[in-house]
Amino acid sequence: MIELQRIIIRQGLCLRELLARMDEGSAEILLLVDEDGRLVRTITDGDLRRLLLAGVALEEVKLELPEKAPITALEGTDREQILDLMKQHDVNHIPVLDTARRPVKLVRARDLELPILLSTPHMGDQELSFINQAFDTNWIAPLGPNVDAFERELAEKVGVGHAAALSSGTAAIHLALILLGVEEGDKVFCSSLTFVASANPILYQKAMPVFIDSEPETWNMSPAALQRGLEKAARDGCLPKAVIVVNLYGQSSDFDPIVAICEKYNVPLIEDAAESLGASYKGQASGTFGKLGIYSFNGNKIITTSGGGMLVSDDAALIEKARFYATQARDPAPWYQHTSIGFNYRMSNVLAGIGRGQLRVLEDRVDQRRAVFERYSDSGMGGGGFSWMPEASFGRSTRWLSCGVFDTEGAVDAQRFIERMAEHRIEARRIWKPLHLQPLFAECEYFPHNENNSVSDQIFAHGICLPSGSNMTEREQERVIKTFNEIFAGF
Ligand SMILES: Cc1ncc(COP(=O)(O)O)c(C=O)c1O
């Protein structure tokens, strides 16, 4: 909110003083009032610029400004009416006056706009009916018909043998590690450029993460860095128990070389497809390339159950075992008997109902997110000074988040850019800070793309994610483009 006293002025100021006040007030407008504090007129920075261009001296007090009645609103006028006034008169500021015509506040267009968020839930038509079924049949439990059906339907959709619905994607990664026998002191390789949830479960098992850099073509795990890492681990006689490969922002990793390298060293692969449900690699669904794959249905994902995850595999025994661990590892005995450590990781039957409805609109959500990205990229945002995350020709990304990097030679600071977007009520975020740079993992080994080039460091330093929700209106997308370009031009 603009501090009114900084922009209210009285007669008798010279051009230099007006320019200084305009600069201080940082509102691109001054409010000229009479001796009783009543609004006489508004003075815009354009008015002052035109005086300068006309050669008016800086010390001149008698300024000839064009006659113009100020566009104002009375106290109590609602948001919609003020927005209409702004549109009608093509102005970005409206002074709000009391009944004596004294300014009480200045409203800017940007203060009235609703916030545009990065990625919000987008429900379809059928979620509620599946939830209602759960209520009608009293299946309000972490098991039930919706859970069974959601597992079956998701497995069918991605073309995998078996699936276990869980409380989160993180839980799915944790169980995947347990199923592969990861224990204290074991090594687990993991993509570095990702959300911390990809690697936290390695720590739950007291194992040691080793981080692998990205390649520039996909921003995903660099096969070259993976090869070097496994070569060294083999030489040292301590190969990892698993490799966690993350598919970033909706795009699949380059699995042909990654699978070949893992097979060469006989290390099982876990595919973290939390962000890439709906994407494909050479026609095969993302999430189905590893011994085990995981998805997340967190609120910000392409489809959501408000919170939830899925573990998938072609190995029926592994998934059966996952369900066992996810329900407190209860032995088949007539009483409560436990031999192994278990977890409370199952998905609720109510939330699985949301998942069933969401699964039916997955393709639409992919198309809608891709359309947001295309609108952005077709607009030429940032000219040559901003490059979008590349989409490799081997697959189809969902463009879960539209993201890109500012030119390393340019003047744009990613953090300041995001702060400026926030001033316009538009949420943008930094690219994940690579895990090898996190204090939590300071002791961990790291293999960059090549000896002198850490690709993920560069992407983090210069990258941002933009609002990408499948439910964004065209007007919201246009607002993002316009604001992005205005801020970009100001750097
Ligand atoms: C790459 C990645 N892995 C794992 C997760 C964890 O999923 P969840 O939030 O469902 O635990 C997320 C997202 O939250 C993610 O983006």
The pLDDT score that the predictor gives to residue 243 is 98
Q: How far is the CA of 25 from the centre of ligand 1 (A)?
A: 44
Q: Coil, strand or helix: which one is 279?
A: coil
Q: How far is the CA of 112 from the centre of ligand 1 (A)?
A: 33
Helix or strand holding residue 129 (H, E): helix 127-136
| Distances in whole angstroms, Cα of residue 474 to Cα of each of 118, 225, 399, 414 | 15, 41, 17, 25
Q: How far is the CA of 433 from the centre of ligand 1 (A)?
A: 14
Domains and their CATH numbers in the chain: 4-112 (3.10.580.10), 127-359 (3.40.640.10), 363-489 (3.90.1150.10)
In tens, the pLDDT along 169-199 reads 999 999 999 999 999 999 999 999 999 999 9
The pLDDT score that the predictor gives to residue 384 is 87
- 183 phi, psi to nearest 5 deg: -135, 180
Query: Which tokens go with 410?
Result: 């340019």
Residue 77's Cβ-count burial label (10 Å; 0-12, 13-18, 19+) is middle
CA-closest candidate to residue 349, choices 79, 82, 55, 132 = 132
Pocket test for ligand 1, best of 252, 296, 300, 398 (most atoms within 8 A of CB): 296
> What one-character DSSP code corresponds to residue 453?
B
What's the half-sphere exposure (Cβ side, CA atoms, 13 Å) at 297?
29
The pLDDT score that the predictor gives to residue 109 is 87
Atom of ligand 1 nearest to the CA of 275: 16
Question: Which residues line the pocket of ligand 1, CB cutoff 6 A?
Answer: 168-170, 194-195, 197-198, 246, 272, 274-275, 296, 298, 309
The pLDDT score that the predictor gives to residue 192 is 98
In tens, the pLDDT along 273-313 reads 999 999 999 999 999 999 999 999 999 999 999 999 999 99
Low-confidence residues of the chain: pLDDT under 50: none
- 75 phi, psi to nearest 5 deg: -50, 135
Q: What is the C-alpha to C-alpha distance for residues 245 and 226, in angstroms, rounded to an integer?
A: 10
Query: Which tokens go with 111?
Result: 């203060």
Q: What is the C-alpha to C-alpha distance for residues 308 and 348, in angstroms, rounded to an integer?
A: 9
User: If you count them, how many residues does the chain have?
Assistant: 491
